């Protein structure tokens, strides 16, 4: 019985220590990404959705407010980023982005799924909710 009590005491101390550590908050709203910040962003966030877009792309402009809204709704669970493919073509090439808008969902820094085209909010939300 003493051994069990000691294990409980240690586990409680560990939980209290973790609870008092500062927690890194996920951003509220999509984060503007570039070649220097992209990989760090997807690795630091367990679940991340990145919107690959360009200024001249009209479908991208349709998707942008949806991403903004979903980033607030899923704050704390999913991090959202935006990467302009004209400004960071090497990242788009590495991930074989052939059309925009393209949303890529990353889990633990690895791309697991993508959605290409200007989908309505319910479709994008269903897509994200499969992973959250």
Given 57, 83, 92, 100, the catalytic residue: 57
> Rounded CA gap, 128 and 131, in Å?
6
What Å distances lie between residue 107 and 11, 30, 128, CA to CA?
A: 29, 17, 11
DSSP state of 99: S
Given 31, 47, 60, 67, the catalytic residue: 60
Catalytic site residue 21? no
Catalytic site residue 59? no
Strands (E), 1-132: 31-33, 47-53, 79-84, 102-107, 110-116
Residues labelled catalytic: 57, 60
């Amino acid at each position: 019985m003493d051994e069990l009590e000691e294990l409980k005491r240690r586990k409680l101390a560990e939980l209290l220590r973790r609870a008092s550590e500062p927690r890194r908050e996920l951003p509220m709203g999509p984060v503007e990404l570039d070649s220097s910040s992209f990989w760090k962003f997807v690795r630091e966030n367990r679940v991340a959705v990145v919107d690959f877009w360009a200024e001249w792309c009209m479908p991208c402009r349709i998707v942008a407010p949806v991403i903004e809204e979903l980033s607030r709704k899923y704050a704390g669970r999913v991090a959202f980023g935006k990467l302009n493919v004209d400004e960071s073509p090497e990242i788009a090439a590495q991930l074989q982005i052939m059309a925009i808008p393209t949303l890529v969902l990353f889990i633990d820094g690895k791309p697991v799924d993508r959605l290409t085209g200007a989908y309505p909010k319910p479709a994008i939300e269903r897509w994200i909710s499969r992973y959250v």
